[in-house]
Chains A and B, each alone.
Chain A
Amino acid sequence: MMIRATDDAHAMTDAAGAQRGELVRVRILRQDVPSGESYWERFEVPYERNMNVISILQKIAAQARSQDGRKVAPVAWDCNCLEEVCGSCTMLINGRTRMACSALVDRLLAEDGDEIELRPMSKFPVVRDLVVDRRRLFRGLEKVEAWVPVEGSYDLGPGPRISPDEQEDAYPLSTCMSCGCCLEACPQYTKVEVVRREGESEKDFEARRKAAYDAAFVGAHAVSQAMLFNAHPTGRMIADERMKALTRQGGIQMCGNAQNCVAVCPKGIPLTRSIARAGRAATVWAIKRLFDR
């Protein structure tokens, strides 16, 4: 598998004509402070075989010089695992949301000419350069209680068995790494940026920020996680809580069926299946609530 990938990269290299020693041109949308002005800056880094976008950013940090030779602050970015499982290096690479660690330079050059464009995600407030504040993403998971509640001071014993079929169904959903690609590509998930007012206490600001997040669309990732934990025999114990969250303001009803989420998900999670299942569960839940109360 690894060898195949390298061979592919070789072929792409030849197609793009980039060689060892040549320079790779990079255009980065930078921003110095939260809610500040953004501006473009160009960089050039020496090409190496099998580079990814992270290695480009590392080289830029090391040289800290723009294309025209000015000394500039290194570009800030987020990354961690470098193997597409932590979800922290999401950015807009050549206009499309993806993970910087698995975006190979050879392929980018082959698909989109001689310059690579990097922008921060557009649906989250920029902290600095390519670093964004993704607290709303995690607030979405919090809102739908995307966990198995196991509180207690004594051993609860083993949980109920999960059949192989159920495991197979649930596994893809469990690979979600909270990268936010589904949210970035979603036309219904629009940016919410709450700026602290003058003289506002930290607590008031937090409350206002959370309320603003909760009023807007919760997002495909949270819908899918709600379905994952509602299918789990122990997680199911608070299924009603999750359905309540999913049918509140900003819930499942905000989905516009553009289906970009499933198209851009780096883990290939069947997000539209989760959304349709959540739609079905919400239908049943709403009818039950109407007649059972």
Chain B
Amino acid sequence: MSGESPSFLERHQFLIYRLFSLAGFVPVGAFLIVHLLTNASILAGDGGRTFQSRVDMIHSLGPLLVPVEWAFIFLPMIFHAVVGFVIIANGLPNVGSYPYVSNLRYTLQRATGMIAFAFIIWHIWQLHALGKPFGGGRFDAHEAASSTAAVLGSTAVSILYCIGILSAVFHFANGLWTLGITWGLWTSPAAMRRANVVSIAVGVVLAAAGLGAVAGFRSLPADSASHGHAASAVHETLPPSSP
């Protein structure tokens, strides 16, 4: 066992677990917020033009985009996932014997973490350029709304996206609450209750943004969904549907 000389990981367990906790908040959690709110801009009601302009803004990073993605999104996410799986493997959920709300949340935190992990891999394959060599990568930054809408046109895909989004949001919101206990931000039961209300509110807002975006992509006008920019151009000639 770990008897004679503890390994590097064992000697720095505290640091690793704290970095794991931090990584879940920034940059991974912060990215989740930005990502879901960006997606929600599809609800602006202008056939995806606001969404396209947000995407253009992100892609204005040009050659920096890939290193930024790896440094602030993929690598922290992989670190969080790897440590997360170690934590899950070492725990023994017992919600059947002790059916308390916080114990259920402990179990759900692990379940949603695993669901979100599987979903994110699938989601990256399906939409991100990394998925192109494997027959995925269907997101087109120049046709942001329509290329996304084409993927979400499938009801089965949309349902899986809703499950993935809800899992990620629960994992983040519940993780926000436990992070505050881990780092000692809220220590008294009253402070934990207040922080819980805030975490739930964050979760509800993000879930609404995430699910709203799925609905928004699905309800894009058919021609705009298939032609993207061209449809936006047509849109401009039509009277505005909303003030």
Contacts and interface: CB of A to CB of B under 8 A. Distances in A.
B91 interface: yes
A258 B192 CA distance: 13
B25 interface: no
Interface string B95-111: 00110101101110000
A139 to B, nearest CB: 15
Nearest to B6: A249
A276 B152 CA distance: 43
A259 B100 contact: yes
A188 B90 CA distance: 7
Interface stretch (B179-187, B223-231, B232-240): B179-187
Contacts of B134: none
B1 interface: yes
B17 interface: yes
Contacts of B103: 187, 258-260, 263
A245 to B, nearest CB: 11
B10 A256 contact: no
A267 interface: no
A127 B142 CA distance: 69
B18 A253 contact: yes
A264 B183 CA distance: 24
A276 B181 contact: yes
B10 A280 contact: no
B92 A272 contact: no
Contacts of B185: 280
Contact of A259 (B3, B91, B102, B186): B102
A286 B14 contact: yes
A220 to B, nearest CB: 12
A280 B183 contact: yes
A141 interface: no
A112 to B, nearest CB: 13
Contact of A279 (B13, B97, B181): B181
Nearest to B106: A258
A190 B1 contact: no
A215 B18 contact: no
A267 B23 CA distance: 36
B98 to A, nearest CB: 5
Interface in B10-31: 10-11, 13-15, 17-18
B45 interface: no
B94 interface: yes
A188 B184 contact: no
A253 B13 contact: yes
Given A249-B10, A273-B187, A277-B187, A257 B2 contact: no
Interface string A244-257: 00011111111111
Interface string B143-187: 000000000000000000000000000000000001001111111
Contacts of B90: 188, 190
Interface residues on A, range: 35 or more
Nearest to B14: A247
A276 B90 CA distance: 21
A247 B13 CA distance: 8
Interface residues of B, number: 36
Contact of B181 (A208, A270, A275, A281): A275
Given A188-B91, A249-B6, A253-B17, A212 B1 contact: yes
A1 interface: no
A204 to B, nearest CB: 10
A93 to B, nearest CB: 12
A54 B102 CA distance: 31
Interface in A117-160: none
A275 B15 CA distance: 17
Contacts of B186: 276
A259 B193 CA distance: 13
Contacts of A270: 189
A211 interface: yes
Contacts of A254: 13, 17
B221 to A, nearest CB: 46
A96 B97 contact: yes
Nearest to A275: B181
A276 B184 CA distance: 5
A46 interface: no
Nearest to A255: B182
Contact of B189 (A95, A207, A250, A272): A272
A282 interface: yes
A250 B17 CA distance: 11
Interface in B72-117: 87, 90-94, 97-98, 100, 102-103, 105-107
Interface of B: 1-3, 6, 10-11, 13-15, 17-18, 87, 90-94, 97-98, 100, 102-103, 105-107, 178, 181-189, 192
Closest 7 CB pairs of A and B: A280-B184, A258-B106, A253-B17, A259-B102, A276-B187, A279-B184, A257-B178
Given A249-B6, A259-B106, A260-B98, 6 more contacts: A187-B92, A212-B1, A248-B13, A253-B182, A286-B14, A286-B18
